[in-house]
Structure 1
């Protein structure tokens, strides 16, 4: 089965990439790293004006009227540049929370695992965040809080799911962000392998480095096929499989990118460590390894019974 992007979908992806290249380039990324916990409200409103948050909201309600496949493309681009902020929570709140669709309201949410991203910067918090405790986040661009209380509601209500019942859309959009980060890790590894020279030739000419870069690409493209397919089928088992592959591609990809860069990849000035840290933090969101593996196992067992 082939999942080819339409001309409109390619144009959407290109437009989002162009917007982010203009408004959140490497200089903006490093500036955000130097100001941890601060959210660029002007950028947030610009994202809202571009339809980032209202992408899946019906046109009759003031939205763009697109679907899950298009949302996956947009979140993939956000993951590629490590765009900070509670993007998913605000996107999912469009149509439920006034101002969320337009980027005027920053929304945080208690996810199914009891984590809240960007709580201190949020105008509205979906779910019960009483007693939230700040955590020391490994990612300087993702401030975290943890709550012990269980959330309420279902994915289609105005609230967030209870802990342990992750919203499949949230799981898939996290996979899309991970895919974008894995793609960026692959790009950086290949760029460095071509530019860096040892013994009079690019390090990409050495077999060990070639293998690392090839494995990076294979994981990225495997995850991409799974994420895009899950966006079309919206099947919970497909989404779980996509999440597992995307998490693996992002984490292992960033680690292999560090390996290609050598010692300089571990320095604060390099961007590679930021990819790894963001990938690690996303794996802690609801719908991660254990939950997705359990869902897939249950689906396989149910299929065997049939």
Structure 2
């Protein structure tokens, strides 16, 4: 089986990347840090571009693509640190009025927490007794809820796709910095320890990519669980390693590195994270052995 992207899939990926570069580039990201909140104009433009209806049939007003294409779009969203309840709104596009066009923002109870509860027009799941949390990510407001919802497998995969985008982006940032930052009269990328760190980041990201893309083709819950574990690890360890390569500079507000690490921590806590995915994989192994 071949997993090379088609020309149409490459065009979709590049188109989403260009759209996000125009609408949610570095200046917009910095502005969001100064005035946190959901940019409704960006949200509506995502709707106009078909981001939320990629998987809806054309007869229902959608684009008519599949899960592999949605994975590519969400990978780019993760790479750009795009804010907002993207997964929840995407999944609700066929059932919640206004979600498809970006006119409505949808939040969902996921993993015992809700992202963007205060700014959502529609909340799916039980939120009675929700209490605000001090989010580690300044761009993702959180609430804790008493009841823990079962994760949707597509939501798990799309979260893995966002994590994959982060893993790829922090690898790029680390390599770029290693090529330009000098110590002892040489770029730090000339030192073997930094080279090994960057190589390990790339290997983890590409391993996760293969798993995420394969799970998008099979849509098997076990494959999705494995992809989520690999993507979470690639994003989390990659962001930490990128921060290490940048040194103290990576902690500054002028750098996006620490924001990737913080967003990764938030995504890890969504439904389908380490515990859920490990339990699913363990159950499959036991069933196969029995």
Alignment TM class, shorter chain as reference: over 0.9
State how far apart, in whole Å, the 1-side matches of 2:34 and 2:82 are: 14
**What residue is the counterpart of 2:223 in the other structure?**
238
**What residue is the counterpart of 1:254 in the other structure?**
239
> When you count helix as a share of all residues, which structure comes out higher?
2
What displacement does 1:65 show? 0.8
Provide the TM-score with structure 2 as the length reference.
0.98
**What residue is the counterpart of 1:44 in the other structure?**
43
For structure 1, which runs of at least 5 residues remain unmatched after alignment? 151-162
State how far apart, in whole Å, the 2-side matches of 1:137 and 1:263 are: 22
How well do the aligned residues superpose, as a CA RMSD in angstroms? 0.9
What displacement does 1:35 show? 1.4
What displacement does 1:146 show? 1.1
State how far apart, in whole Å, the 1-side matches of 2:169 and 2:34 are: 21
Q: Which SS does the other structure have where 2:143 is aligned? A: strand
Check if 1:19 corresponds to 2:19: yes
State how far apart, in whole Å, the 2-side matches of 1:109 and 1:236 are: 20
**What residue is the counterpart of 2:118 in the other structure?**
120
Number of residue equivalences = 290
Check if 1:194 corresponds to 2:194: no
Runs of 4+ in structure 1 off by over 3 angstroms are none
Provide the TM-score with structure 1 as the length reference.
0.93
For structure 2, which runs of at least 5 residues remain unmatched after alignment? none
Q: Which SS does the other structure have where 1:96 is aligned? A: coil
What displacement does 1:130 show? 1.8
**What residue is the counterpart of 2:5 in the other structure?**
5
Check if 1:180 corresponds to 2:165: yes
State how far apart, in whole Å, the 2-side matches of 1:260 and 1:147 are: 37
**What residue is the counterpart of 1:84 in the other structure?**
83
**What residue is the counterpart of 1:30 in the other structure?**
30
**What residue is the counterpart of 1:158 in the other structure?**
none
**What residue is the counterpart of 2:128 in the other structure?**
130
State how far apart, in whole Å, the 2-side matches of 1:272 and 1:95 are: 35
**What residue is the counterpart of 1:154 in the other structure?**
none
What displacement does 1:268 show? 2.5
